[in-house]
Chain A
Amino acid sequence: MKIFVCLKQVPDSETKIKLLPDQSGIDGAGIKWVMNPYDEHAVEESIKFREKNPGAQVWAISLGPKSRAVESLRTALAMGADEAIIINSTENLDAYLTAKALAHVIATEGPAHLVFTGKLSIDANQSSVPQMIAEFLSIPHTSVVSKFEYTPESSSVERDTEGGAKEIVQMINPALVAANKGLNMPRYASLPGIMKAKKKVIKEIEFSSLGITATEQKVRYFGYLLPPEKPAAKLLAGDASSQVAQLISCLRDEAKVI
Protein backbone atom coordinates (compact mmCIF):
# COMPACT_ATOMS: atom_id res chain seq x y z
CA MET A 1 0.00 0.00 0.00
CA LYS A 2 1.61 3.22 -1.18
CA ILE A 3 1.07 6.61 0.41
CA PHE A 4 2.29 9.62 -1.55
CA VAL A 5 3.24 12.96 -0.03
CA CYS A 6 3.83 15.97 -2.28
CA LEU A 7 6.43 18.58 -1.36
CA LYS A 8 7.63 21.95 -2.54
CA GLN A 9 10.64 24.07 -1.66
CA VAL A 10 9.69 27.70 -0.99
CA PRO A 11 11.53 30.76 0.28
CA ASP A 12 11.58 30.78 4.08
CA SER A 13 8.78 33.00 5.40
CA GLU A 14 11.37 35.31 7.03
CA THR A 15 13.22 35.77 3.70
CA LYS A 16 13.30 39.17 2.04
CA ILE A 17 12.25 38.97 -1.60
CA LYS A 18 14.34 40.77 -4.26
CA LEU A 19 13.44 40.99 -7.94
CA LEU A 20 15.46 40.33 -11.07
CA PRO A 21 16.41 43.57 -12.85
CA ASP A 22 14.11 42.77 -15.81
CA GLN A 23 11.17 42.11 -13.44
CA SER A 24 10.68 38.63 -14.90
CA GLY A 25 10.76 36.97 -11.50
CA ILE A 26 12.38 36.93 -8.10
CA ASP A 27 16.12 36.84 -7.55
CA GLY A 28 16.86 33.36 -6.21
CA ALA A 29 20.33 34.36 -4.99
CA GLY A 30 20.58 34.65 -1.23
CA ILE A 31 17.18 33.09 -0.63
CA LYS A 32 16.93 30.46 2.07
CA TRP A 33 14.75 27.66 0.68
CA VAL A 34 12.79 25.47 3.04
CA MET A 35 10.09 22.82 2.82
CA ASN A 36 6.71 24.56 2.46
CA PRO A 37 5.44 24.74 6.08
CA TYR A 38 2.10 23.06 5.30
CA ASP A 39 3.93 20.20 3.56
CA GLU A 40 5.70 19.41 6.85
CA HIS A 41 2.27 18.56 8.28
CA ALA A 42 1.58 16.36 5.25
CA VAL A 43 4.86 14.47 5.78
CA GLU A 44 4.15 14.06 9.49
CA GLU A 45 0.66 12.69 8.84
CA SER A 46 1.92 10.22 6.24
CA ILE A 47 4.59 8.90 8.62
CA LYS A 48 2.11 8.65 11.49
CA PHE A 49 -0.12 6.69 9.12
CA ARG A 50 2.69 4.27 8.29
CA GLU A 51 3.47 3.77 11.96
CA LYS A 52 -0.13 2.70 12.59
CA ASN A 53 -0.47 0.68 9.39
CA PRO A 54 2.49 -1.65 8.95
CA GLY A 55 3.01 -2.53 5.33
CA ALA A 56 2.32 1.00 4.13
CA GLN A 57 5.13 2.75 2.29
CA VAL A 58 5.56 6.52 2.23
CA TRP A 59 6.71 7.98 -1.08
CA ALA A 60 7.75 11.62 -1.04
CA ILE A 61 7.51 13.38 -4.40
CA SER A 62 8.52 16.83 -5.55
CA LEU A 63 8.69 18.77 -8.79
CA GLY A 64 11.20 21.50 -9.39
CA PRO A 65 14.82 22.18 -10.23
CA LYS A 66 16.62 19.09 -8.95
CA SER A 67 19.35 20.89 -7.01
CA ARG A 68 16.77 22.72 -4.92
CA ALA A 69 13.86 20.28 -4.69
CA VAL A 70 15.93 17.31 -3.45
CA GLU A 71 16.51 19.20 -0.21
CA SER A 72 12.91 18.85 0.96
CA LEU A 73 12.89 15.22 -0.21
CA ARG A 74 15.97 14.55 1.94
CA THR A 75 14.19 16.21 4.85
CA ALA A 76 11.13 13.99 4.29
CA LEU A 77 13.36 10.89 4.13
CA ALA A 78 15.10 11.99 7.33
CA MET A 79 11.70 12.39 9.00
CA GLY A 80 10.88 8.81 8.00
CA ALA A 81 9.62 8.62 4.40
CA ASP A 82 10.60 5.37 2.66
CA GLU A 83 11.22 6.49 -0.91
CA ALA A 84 11.59 9.76 -2.81
CA ILE A 85 11.03 10.87 -6.39
CA ILE A 86 12.13 14.11 -7.99
CA ILE A 87 10.51 15.33 -11.21
CA ASN A 88 13.24 17.57 -12.54
CA SER A 89 12.09 20.75 -14.24
CA THR A 90 13.79 24.12 -14.40
CA GLU A 91 10.83 25.74 -16.17
CA ASN A 92 8.34 27.92 -14.29
CA LEU A 93 5.40 25.55 -14.61
CA ASP A 94 1.91 26.70 -13.67
CA ALA A 95 -0.37 24.85 -11.24
CA TYR A 96 -2.05 22.93 -14.07
CA LEU A 97 1.16 21.44 -15.48
CA THR A 98 2.60 20.85 -12.02
CA ALA A 99 -0.50 18.93 -10.92
CA LYS A 100 -0.64 17.01 -14.20
CA ALA A 101 2.98 15.90 -13.85
CA LEU A 102 2.60 14.92 -10.18
CA ALA A 103 -0.64 13.01 -10.88
CA HIS A 104 0.99 11.26 -13.84
CA VAL A 105 3.93 10.04 -11.76
CA ILE A 106 1.74 9.10 -8.78
CA ALA A 107 -0.45 7.02 -11.12
CA THR A 108 2.57 5.37 -12.76
CA GLU A 109 4.47 4.62 -9.54
CA GLY A 110 1.32 3.89 -7.54
CA PRO A 111 -1.49 3.23 -7.32
CA ALA A 112 -1.77 5.58 -4.37
CA HIS A 113 -3.96 4.55 -1.46
CA LEU A 114 -3.69 8.05 0.03
CA VAL A 115 -2.10 11.29 -1.10
CA PHE A 116 -1.06 13.95 1.41
CA THR A 117 -0.17 17.54 0.48
CA GLY A 118 -0.01 20.91 2.20
CA LYS A 119 -3.17 23.02 1.78
CA LEU A 120 -1.19 25.59 -0.23
CA SER A 121 2.38 26.67 -0.81
CA ILE A 122 3.28 30.00 0.74
CA ASP A 123 4.93 31.35 -2.44
CA ALA A 124 2.14 31.73 -5.03
CA ASN A 125 -0.70 31.12 -2.55
CA GLN A 126 -2.80 29.56 -5.32
CA SER A 127 -4.12 26.58 -3.31
CA SER A 128 -4.70 24.79 -6.61
CA VAL A 129 -2.31 21.88 -7.08
CA PRO A 130 -3.80 19.47 -4.47
CA GLN A 131 -7.36 19.70 -5.83
CA MET A 132 -6.08 19.38 -9.41
CA ILE A 133 -4.05 16.25 -8.57
CA ALA A 134 -7.19 14.70 -7.06
CA GLU A 135 -9.22 15.53 -10.17
CA PHE A 136 -6.54 14.16 -12.51
CA LEU A 137 -6.43 10.96 -10.41
CA SER A 138 -10.27 10.83 -10.22
CA ILE A 139 -10.18 10.58 -6.43
CA PRO A 140 -11.96 12.69 -3.79
CA HIS A 141 -10.08 15.40 -1.91
CA THR A 142 -10.54 17.54 1.16
CA SER A 143 -8.49 20.69 1.61
CA VAL A 144 -7.56 22.63 4.77
CA VAL A 145 -7.66 19.50 6.92
CA SER A 146 -6.98 19.71 10.66
CA LYS A 147 -7.97 16.17 11.68
CA PHE A 148 -7.56 12.85 9.90
CA GLU A 149 -8.93 9.42 10.83
CA TYR A 150 -8.65 6.32 8.74
CA THR A 151 -10.35 3.02 8.10
CA PRO A 152 -9.36 0.85 5.12
CA GLU A 153 -12.56 1.91 3.32
CA SER A 154 -12.71 5.59 4.09
CA SER A 155 -10.92 8.64 5.47
CA SER A 156 -12.78 10.88 7.92
CA VAL A 157 -11.45 14.39 8.12
CA GLU A 158 -12.22 17.80 9.55
CA ARG A 159 -11.91 20.73 7.19
CA ASP A 160 -11.44 24.26 8.54
CA THR A 161 -13.69 26.75 6.77
CA GLU A 162 -14.47 30.36 7.55
CA GLY A 163 -14.80 32.01 10.95
CA GLY A 164 -13.50 28.94 12.81
CA ALA A 165 -16.24 26.65 11.45
CA LYS A 166 -15.49 23.06 10.46
CA GLU A 167 -16.93 20.59 7.97
CA ILE A 168 -16.83 16.91 8.89
CA VAL A 169 -16.14 14.99 5.70
CA GLN A 170 -15.96 11.33 4.86
CA MET A 171 -14.17 10.21 1.69
CA ILE A 172 -14.00 6.78 0.12
CA ASN A 173 -10.35 5.76 -0.31
CA PRO A 174 -8.15 6.35 -2.21
CA ALA A 175 -8.35 10.01 -1.28
CA LEU A 176 -6.26 13.16 -1.14
CA VAL A 177 -5.84 15.14 2.07
CA ALA A 178 -4.45 18.71 1.97
CA ALA A 179 -3.09 19.58 5.41
CA ASN A 180 -3.69 22.70 7.49
CA LYS A 181 -1.47 23.76 10.33
CA GLY A 182 -3.50 22.26 13.19
CA LEU A 183 -3.31 18.69 11.81
CA ASN A 184 -0.28 17.61 13.86
CA MET A 185 3.12 18.64 15.20
CA PRO A 186 5.78 17.80 12.58
CA ARG A 187 8.64 15.85 14.11
CA TYR A 188 12.27 16.83 13.85
CA ALA A 189 14.48 14.54 11.83
CA SER A 190 16.61 12.29 14.02
CA LEU A 191 20.37 12.09 13.50
CA PRO A 192 20.22 8.45 12.34
CA GLY A 193 17.35 9.51 10.07
CA ILE A 194 19.47 12.25 8.55
CA MET A 195 22.39 9.87 8.01
CA LYS A 196 20.10 7.32 6.36
CA ALA A 197 18.46 9.99 4.17
CA LYS A 198 21.84 11.13 2.88
CA LYS A 199 22.61 7.67 1.52
CA LYS A 200 19.18 7.07 0.01
CA VAL A 201 18.98 7.07 -3.79
CA ILE A 202 16.30 9.50 -4.96
CA LYS A 203 14.54 8.39 -8.11
CA GLU A 204 14.90 10.99 -10.85
CA ILE A 205 12.35 11.61 -13.58
CA GLU A 206 12.71 14.33 -16.21
CA PHE A 207 9.57 16.41 -16.67
CA SER A 208 10.26 16.34 -20.41
CA SER A 209 10.01 12.52 -20.42
CA LEU A 210 6.39 12.53 -19.20
CA GLY A 211 4.86 13.41 -22.56
CA ILE A 212 3.23 16.52 -21.09
CA THR A 213 4.05 19.40 -23.36
CA ALA A 214 4.85 22.80 -21.95
CA THR A 215 2.40 24.25 -24.51
CA GLU A 216 -0.33 23.12 -22.12
CA GLN A 217 0.80 25.84 -19.73
CA LYS A 218 -2.23 28.01 -19.09
CA VAL A 219 -1.03 30.78 -16.81
CA ARG A 220 2.09 32.92 -16.99
CA TYR A 221 3.42 35.55 -14.57
CA PHE A 222 5.31 38.67 -15.58
CA GLY A 223 5.87 42.27 -14.53
CA TYR A 224 7.03 41.57 -11.00
CA LEU A 225 6.87 44.59 -8.69
CA LEU A 226 7.77 45.26 -5.10
CA PRO A 227 4.93 46.69 -3.00
CA PRO A 228 4.87 50.49 -3.03
CA GLU A 229 6.83 52.11 -0.20
CA LYS A 230 4.52 53.33 2.53
CA PRO A 231 5.02 56.86 3.82
CA ALA A 232 6.33 56.92 7.38
CA ALA A 233 3.76 56.32 10.09
CA LYS A 234 2.17 59.33 11.72
CA LEU A 235 3.25 58.93 15.34
CA LEU A 236 0.73 60.19 17.86
CA ALA A 237 2.43 61.80 20.85
CA GLY A 238 1.20 62.78 24.31
CA ASP A 239 -0.25 60.78 27.19
CA ALA A 240 -2.51 57.78 26.62
CA SER A 241 -5.77 59.78 26.65
CA SER A 242 -4.41 62.29 24.17
CA GLN A 243 -3.04 59.51 21.90
CA VAL A 244 -6.43 57.80 21.90
CA ALA A 245 -8.25 61.05 21.11
CA GLN A 246 -5.87 61.82 18.24
CA LEU A 247 -6.19 58.33 16.85
CA ILE A 248 -9.98 58.49 16.81
CA SER A 249 -9.92 61.84 15.09
CA CYS A 250 -7.42 60.56 12.48
CA LEU A 251 -9.47 57.45 11.75
CA ARG A 252 -12.73 59.36 11.54
CA ASP A 253 -11.80 62.66 9.90
CA GLU A 254 -8.57 61.97 7.97
CA ALA A 255 -8.67 58.32 6.91
CA LYS A 256 -12.49 58.17 7.10
CA VAL A 257 -12.53 54.48 7.96
CA ILE A 258 -14.86 54.56 10.98
Chain B
Amino acid sequence: MSKILVFTEFQATASAGSGALKRSSQELLQFAAKTGRPVVALALGTTAAGAVAQLAPHGAAEVMLCKDSAYDLHNPELFSIAVAEAIEKSGATLVLASTSSAGKDLFPRVAAKIGAGIISDGTEITLVGEDVKIKKPLYSGKCFATASFENTKVKIVLMRANQLPVAAGDTTKTAVISEVAFTKPSLKTLITAVVKGTSEKLDLTEANIIVSGGRGLKEAANFKMIEELASALGATVGASRAVVDAGWVGHSLQVGQTGKTVAPTLYIAVGISGAIQHLAGMSGSKVIVAINNDANAPIFQKATYGIVGDAFEIVPKLTEEFKKLLNH
Protein backbone atom coordinates (compact mmCIF):
# COMPACT_ATOMS: atom_id res chain seq x y z
CA MET B 1 0.00 0.00 0.00
CA SER B 2 1.21 3.43 -0.85
CA LYS B 3 2.72 5.70 1.74
CA ILE B 4 1.18 8.52 3.72
CA LEU B 5 3.32 11.63 4.13
CA VAL B 6 2.62 13.71 7.25
CA PHE B 7 3.83 17.31 7.41
CA THR B 8 4.86 17.78 11.05
CA GLU B 9 4.96 21.00 13.02
CA PHE B 10 6.79 21.80 16.23
CA GLN B 11 6.36 24.40 18.91
CA ALA B 12 9.73 25.90 19.80
CA THR B 13 10.43 25.58 23.53
CA ALA B 14 12.43 27.86 25.78
CA SER B 15 15.82 26.21 25.21
CA ALA B 16 17.25 26.78 21.76
CA GLY B 17 17.18 23.93 19.27
CA SER B 18 14.49 21.97 21.07
CA GLY B 19 10.80 21.75 20.43
CA ALA B 20 7.61 19.88 21.11
CA LEU B 21 5.63 18.06 18.43
CA LYS B 22 2.31 19.88 18.13
CA ARG B 23 -0.81 18.02 19.21
CA SER B 24 -2.27 18.54 15.72
CA SER B 25 0.72 16.68 14.21
CA GLN B 26 0.36 13.89 16.81
CA GLU B 27 -3.28 13.50 15.73
CA LEU B 28 -2.27 13.10 12.08
CA LEU B 29 0.58 10.65 12.75
CA GLN B 30 -1.57 8.46 14.98
CA PHE B 31 -4.43 8.48 12.49
CA ALA B 32 -2.07 7.60 9.63
CA ALA B 33 -0.44 4.78 11.62
CA LYS B 34 -3.85 3.23 12.35
CA THR B 35 -4.56 2.84 8.64
CA GLY B 36 -1.74 0.28 8.44
CA ARG B 37 -0.07 2.16 5.60
CA PRO B 38 3.60 3.13 5.90
CA VAL B 39 3.85 6.57 7.48
CA VAL B 40 6.58 9.03 6.50
CA ALA B 41 7.00 12.16 8.61
CA LEU B 42 8.47 15.26 6.99
CA ALA B 43 10.37 17.40 9.52
CA LEU B 44 11.95 20.70 8.48
CA GLY B 45 14.34 23.02 10.34
CA THR B 46 16.46 23.03 13.47
CA THR B 47 13.55 22.94 15.95
CA ALA B 48 12.30 19.81 14.21
CA ALA B 49 15.81 18.34 14.24
CA GLY B 50 15.96 18.72 18.03
CA ALA B 51 12.60 16.98 18.46
CA VAL B 52 12.85 14.29 15.80
CA ALA B 53 12.74 11.50 18.41
CA GLN B 54 9.14 12.47 19.19
CA LEU B 55 7.90 11.31 15.79
CA ALA B 56 8.26 7.51 16.02
CA PRO B 57 6.20 7.13 19.24
CA HIS B 58 3.22 8.67 17.44
CA GLY B 59 3.46 6.42 14.41
CA ALA B 60 6.14 7.58 11.97
CA ALA B 61 7.97 4.60 10.46
CA GLU B 62 10.23 6.82 8.38
CA VAL B 63 11.35 10.39 8.96
CA MET B 64 12.58 12.70 6.22
CA LEU B 65 14.58 15.24 8.18
CA CYS B 66 16.02 18.42 6.78
CA LYS B 67 18.08 20.12 9.49
CA ASP B 68 18.86 23.17 7.38
CA SER B 69 18.21 26.40 9.31
CA ALA B 70 16.83 27.89 6.07
CA TYR B 71 13.60 26.13 7.10
CA ASP B 72 13.40 27.74 10.55
CA LEU B 73 11.17 30.53 9.31
CA HIS B 74 8.03 29.78 7.31
CA ASN B 75 8.53 30.71 3.67
CA PRO B 76 5.84 29.38 1.32
CA GLU B 77 8.02 29.69 -1.77
CA LEU B 78 10.89 27.67 -0.26
CA PHE B 79 8.71 25.23 1.66
CA SER B 80 6.44 24.41 -1.28
CA ILE B 81 9.48 23.23 -3.24
CA ALA B 82 10.65 21.08 -0.32
CA VAL B 83 7.23 19.51 0.19
CA ALA B 84 6.77 18.83 -3.53
CA GLU B 85 10.16 17.11 -3.63
CA ALA B 86 9.40 15.13 -0.47
CA ILE B 87 6.15 13.87 -1.98
CA GLU B 88 7.96 12.83 -5.16
CA LYS B 89 10.85 11.21 -3.28
CA SER B 90 8.67 9.30 -0.81
CA GLY B 91 6.16 8.18 -3.43
CA ALA B 92 3.34 9.08 -1.05
CA THR B 93 -0.14 9.37 -2.57
CA LEU B 94 -1.79 10.84 0.52
CA VAL B 95 -0.38 13.90 2.26
CA LEU B 96 -1.71 14.99 5.64
CA ALA B 97 -1.14 18.35 7.28
CA SER B 98 -2.91 20.55 9.73
CA THR B 99 -5.10 23.54 8.85
CA SER B 100 -2.54 25.69 10.65
CA SER B 101 -1.22 29.07 9.68
CA ALA B 102 1.68 27.41 7.84
CA GLY B 103 -0.36 24.51 6.43
CA LYS B 104 -3.06 26.72 4.94
CA ASP B 105 -0.48 29.02 3.41
CA LEU B 106 1.80 26.39 1.97
CA PHE B 107 -0.18 23.43 0.68
CA PRO B 108 -2.37 25.15 -1.94
CA ARG B 109 0.90 26.29 -3.51
CA VAL B 110 2.18 22.69 -3.42
CA ALA B 111 -1.08 21.45 -4.96
CA ALA B 112 -0.83 23.91 -7.84
CA LYS B 113 2.85 23.06 -8.34
CA ILE B 114 2.33 19.30 -8.67
CA GLY B 115 -1.21 19.30 -10.07
CA ALA B 116 -2.75 17.69 -6.99
CA GLY B 117 -6.15 18.05 -5.37
CA ILE B 118 -6.40 19.65 -1.94
CA ILE B 119 -9.16 19.57 0.66
CA SER B 120 -8.67 21.91 3.58
CA ASP B 121 -10.34 22.38 7.00
CA GLY B 122 -11.47 18.74 7.29
CA THR B 123 -13.17 17.62 10.49
CA GLU B 124 -13.54 13.91 9.66
CA ILE B 125 -11.45 11.67 7.43
CA THR B 126 -12.38 8.24 6.10
CA LEU B 127 -9.97 6.02 4.17
CA VAL B 128 -11.11 2.96 2.26
CA GLY B 129 -8.17 1.64 0.26
CA GLU B 130 -6.94 4.57 -1.80
CA ASP B 131 -10.31 6.27 -1.55
CA VAL B 132 -10.37 9.32 0.73
CA LYS B 133 -13.47 11.09 1.95
CA ILE B 134 -13.36 14.25 4.04
CA LYS B 135 -16.21 15.79 5.93
CA LYS B 136 -15.83 19.52 6.27
CA PRO B 137 -17.89 22.46 7.46
CA LEU B 138 -18.98 24.97 4.85
CA TYR B 139 -20.23 28.51 5.42
CA SER B 140 -18.33 28.37 8.75
CA GLY B 141 -20.35 25.47 10.05
CA LYS B 142 -23.83 26.42 8.83
CA CYS B 143 -23.72 23.15 6.89
CA PHE B 144 -21.38 20.23 6.23
CA ALA B 145 -20.45 18.41 3.06
CA THR B 146 -18.33 15.43 2.11
CA ALA B 147 -15.48 16.10 -0.29
CA SER B 148 -13.74 13.52 -2.43
CA PHE B 149 -10.88 13.55 -4.92
CA GLU B 150 -10.77 12.79 -8.64
CA ASN B 151 -8.21 13.21 -11.43
CA THR B 152 -5.31 13.39 -9.01
CA LYS B 153 -2.53 10.99 -8.15
CA VAL B 154 -1.60 12.81 -4.95
CA LYS B 155 -4.31 13.77 -2.47
CA ILE B 156 -3.59 16.55 0.00
CA VAL B 157 -5.75 16.80 3.10
CA LEU B 158 -5.52 19.54 5.73
CA MET B 159 -7.31 18.59 8.94
CA ARG B 160 -8.55 21.01 11.54
CA ALA B 161 -6.83 20.60 14.93
CA ASN B 162 -8.55 18.75 17.82
CA GLN B 163 -10.67 16.54 15.52
CA LEU B 164 -8.81 13.23 15.84
CA PRO B 165 -8.07 11.31 19.04
CA VAL B 166 -4.58 11.32 20.53
CA ALA B 167 -3.24 8.58 22.79
CA ALA B 168 0.05 8.63 24.67
CA GLY B 169 2.93 7.86 22.32
CA ASP B 170 4.57 4.42 22.36
CA THR B 171 8.20 5.22 23.19
CA THR B 172 9.37 1.72 22.31
CA LYS B 173 8.75 2.40 18.61
CA THR B 174 11.55 3.54 16.36
CA ALA B 175 11.73 5.11 12.94
CA VAL B 176 14.24 5.14 10.13
CA ILE B 177 15.53 8.69 10.00
CA SER B 178 17.06 9.89 6.76
CA GLU B 179 18.60 13.29 6.40
CA VAL B 180 17.54 14.97 3.21
CA ALA B 181 18.16 18.22 1.35
CA PHE B 182 15.84 20.01 -1.03
CA THR B 183 16.37 22.42 -3.90
CA LYS B 184 16.97 26.00 -2.76
CA PRO B 185 16.59 28.34 -5.71
CA SER B 186 17.12 32.09 -5.41
CA LEU B 187 13.96 33.28 -3.73
CA LYS B 188 11.58 36.14 -4.41
CA THR B 189 10.18 35.89 -0.88
CA LEU B 190 12.26 36.98 2.09
CA ILE B 191 11.11 36.72 5.70
CA THR B 192 12.89 39.60 7.40
CA ALA B 193 11.55 39.29 10.97
CA VAL B 194 9.05 37.57 13.18
CA VAL B 195 7.23 39.68 15.75
CA LYS B 196 6.05 37.65 18.70
CA GLY B 197 2.40 37.80 19.64
CA THR B 198 1.13 39.25 22.88
CA SER B 199 -0.21 35.85 23.87
CA GLU B 200 1.89 32.80 24.66
CA LYS B 201 -1.30 30.73 24.66
CA LEU B 202 -2.32 28.38 21.87
CA ASP B 203 -3.93 29.98 18.85
CA LEU B 204 -7.74 30.02 18.87
CA THR B 205 -7.88 27.45 16.09
CA GLU B 206 -5.89 24.96 18.17
CA ALA B 207 -7.09 25.87 21.65
CA ASN B 208 -8.72 23.29 23.87
CA ILE B 209 -10.53 25.88 26.00
CA ILE B 210 -11.67 29.31 24.84
CA VAL B 211 -13.23 32.14 26.86
CA SER B 212 -14.87 34.75 24.62
CA GLY B 213 -16.28 38.15 25.46
CA GLY B 214 -18.89 40.27 23.69
CA ARG B 215 -20.70 43.55 23.82
CA GLY B 216 -22.43 42.57 27.06
CA LEU B 217 -19.19 43.59 28.79
CA LYS B 218 -20.18 47.20 28.05
CA GLU B 219 -16.69 48.70 27.70
CA ALA B 220 -13.14 47.79 26.69
CA ALA B 221 -11.72 47.97 30.23
CA ASN B 222 -14.10 45.21 31.35
CA PHE B 223 -12.54 42.78 28.88
CA LYS B 224 -9.90 42.21 31.55
CA MET B 225 -12.48 40.04 33.30
CA ILE B 226 -12.40 37.66 30.32
CA GLU B 227 -8.60 37.54 30.36
CA GLU B 228 -8.61 36.69 34.06
CA LEU B 229 -11.12 33.89 33.63
CA ALA B 230 -9.11 32.55 30.68
CA SER B 231 -5.91 32.73 32.68
CA ALA B 232 -7.47 30.75 35.56
CA LEU B 233 -8.47 28.04 33.06
CA GLY B 234 -5.32 28.10 30.92
CA ALA B 235 -7.63 29.09 28.07
CA THR B 236 -7.19 31.19 24.94
CA VAL B 237 -9.16 34.46 24.74
CA GLY B 238 -11.67 35.08 21.95
CA ALA B 239 -14.09 37.87 21.10
CA SER B 240 -17.21 38.62 19.11
CA ARG B 241 -17.16 40.77 15.99
CA ALA B 242 -18.89 43.62 17.82
CA VAL B 243 -16.03 44.14 20.25
CA VAL B 244 -13.36 43.69 17.57
CA ASP B 245 -15.09 46.29 15.39
CA ALA B 246 -15.30 48.56 18.45
CA GLY B 247 -11.51 48.26 18.76
CA TRP B 248 -11.47 46.66 22.24
CA VAL B 249 -9.28 43.80 21.02
CA GLY B 250 -7.42 42.91 17.80
CA HIS B 251 -8.91 41.02 14.88
CA SER B 252 -6.76 37.98 15.64
CA LEU B 253 -9.12 37.26 18.57
CA GLN B 254 -12.34 37.33 16.53
CA VAL B 255 -14.40 34.15 16.49
CA GLY B 256 -16.97 33.86 13.73
CA GLN B 257 -17.46 33.69 10.01
CA THR B 258 -15.24 36.72 9.33
CA GLY B 259 -12.86 35.71 12.09
CA LYS B 260 -11.67 32.31 13.22
CA THR B 261 -13.65 29.10 13.13
CA VAL B 262 -12.94 27.27 16.35
CA ALA B 263 -13.68 23.83 17.79
CA PRO B 264 -12.41 23.62 21.37
CA THR B 265 -13.54 21.12 23.98
CA LEU B 266 -14.94 23.95 26.09
CA TYR B 267 -16.18 27.33 24.83
CA ILE B 268 -17.35 29.91 27.36
CA ALA B 269 -19.27 32.85 25.84
CA VAL B 270 -19.66 35.85 28.11
CA GLY B 271 -21.96 38.69 27.13
CA ILE B 272 -22.22 37.39 23.58
CA SER B 273 -25.76 37.44 22.22
CA GLY B 274 -24.94 34.98 19.43
CA ALA B 275 -25.31 36.61 16.01
CA ILE B 276 -25.60 33.92 13.33
CA GLN B 277 -22.11 34.69 12.04
CA HIS B 278 -20.63 34.18 15.52
CA LEU B 279 -22.56 30.93 16.09
CA ALA B 280 -21.25 29.70 12.75
CA GLY B 281 -17.69 30.12 13.96
CA MET B 282 -18.00 28.28 17.28
CA SER B 283 -20.85 25.79 17.03
CA GLY B 284 -18.33 22.98 16.46
CA SER B 285 -17.23 23.30 20.11
CA LYS B 286 -17.93 20.21 22.20
CA VAL B 287 -19.29 21.93 25.32
CA ILE B 288 -20.60 25.48 25.17
CA VAL B 289 -21.31 27.63 28.21
CA ALA B 290 -23.30 30.85 27.70
CA ILE B 291 -23.42 33.60 30.30
CA ASN B 292 -25.79 36.39 29.33
CA ASN B 293 -28.37 38.59 31.03
CA ASP B 294 -30.87 38.22 28.18
CA ALA B 295 -32.70 34.89 28.44
CA ASN B 296 -33.78 35.24 24.79
CA ALA B 297 -30.26 35.63 23.41
CA PRO B 298 -29.72 33.19 20.49
CA ILE B 299 -26.48 31.96 22.09
CA PHE B 300 -28.60 29.85 24.48
CA GLN B 301 -29.86 27.79 21.50
CA LYS B 302 -26.33 26.51 20.91
CA ALA B 303 -25.28 26.28 24.56
CA THR B 304 -24.84 23.10 26.56
CA TYR B 305 -25.09 25.03 29.83
CA GLY B 306 -26.66 28.43 30.21
CA ILE B 307 -26.53 31.00 32.98
CA VAL B 308 -29.00 33.84 32.69
CA GLY B 309 -27.49 36.49 34.89
CA ASP B 310 -25.15 39.38 35.37
CA ALA B 311 -21.72 38.62 33.93
CA PHE B 312 -20.12 41.19 36.24
CA GLU B 313 -21.29 39.19 39.22
CA ILE B 314 -20.81 35.68 37.82
CA VAL B 315 -17.48 35.84 35.99
CA PRO B 316 -15.34 36.97 38.97
CA LYS B 317 -16.91 34.23 41.14
CA LEU B 318 -16.28 31.67 38.42
CA THR B 319 -12.65 32.83 38.10
CA GLU B 320 -12.16 32.44 41.88
CA GLU B 321 -13.68 28.96 41.86
CA PHE B 322 -11.57 27.78 38.92
CA LYS B 323 -8.44 29.14 40.61
CA LYS B 324 -9.23 27.14 43.75
CA LEU B 325 -10.11 24.04 41.78
CA LEU B 326 -7.23 23.98 39.31
CA ASN B 327 -4.32 25.49 41.21
CA HIS B 328 -4.16 23.40 44.34
Contact = CB atoms under 8 A, between A and B. Distances in A.
A95 B139 contact: no
B193 interface: yes
Contact of A14 (B104, B147, B259, B275): B275
Q: Would you call the interface of chain A mostly helix, strand, loop, or mixed?
A: mixed
A180 B251 contact: yes
- Among B76, B192, B199, B326, the one with the most A-chain Cβ atoms within 10 Å of its Cβ is B76
A251 B314 contact: no
B149 interface: yes
Contact of B194 (A131, A166, A222): A166
B106 to A, nearest CB: 8
A136 B108 CA distance: 11
Given A171-B189, A225-B143, A227-B283, A245 B321 contact: yes
Contact of B306 (A162, A216, A235): A235
Interface residues of A, number: 87
B150 A218 contact: yes
Contacts of B142: 16-17, 226-227
B22 to A, nearest CB: 10
* Size category of the binding interface on chain B: 35 or more
B197 A163 contact: yes
Q: Would you call the interface of chain B mostly helix, strand, loop, or mixed?
A: mixed
B53 interface: no
B290 A164 contact: no
A255 B251 CA distance: 31
Interface in A160-183: 160-172, 175, 180-182
B233 A131 contact: no
A164 B252 contact: yes
29 contacts: A13-B140, A13-B276, A95-B108, A96-B111, A99-B112, A127-B120, A130-B108, A131-B106, A131-B109, A140-B77, A143-B104, A160-B251, A165-B195, A165-B197, A167-B195, A168-B194, A168-B195, A169-B189, A170-B192, A175-B188, A221-B138, A221-B146, A226-B144, A233-B301, A235-B305, A235-B307, A236-B306, A236-B307, A247-B289
Given A131-B112, A161-B194, A255-B287, 12 more contacts: A14-B275, A122-B139, A123-B139, A128-B111, A135-B80, A140-B77, A162-B197, A165-B196, A182-B250, A225-B144, A243-B309, A255-B304
Interface of A: 11, 13-17, 19, 26, 37-38, 94-96, 99-100, 122-132, 134-136, 139-144, 146, 156, 158, 160-172, 175, 180-182, 215-227, 230, 232-236, 240-241, 243-245, 247-248, 250-252, 255, 257-258
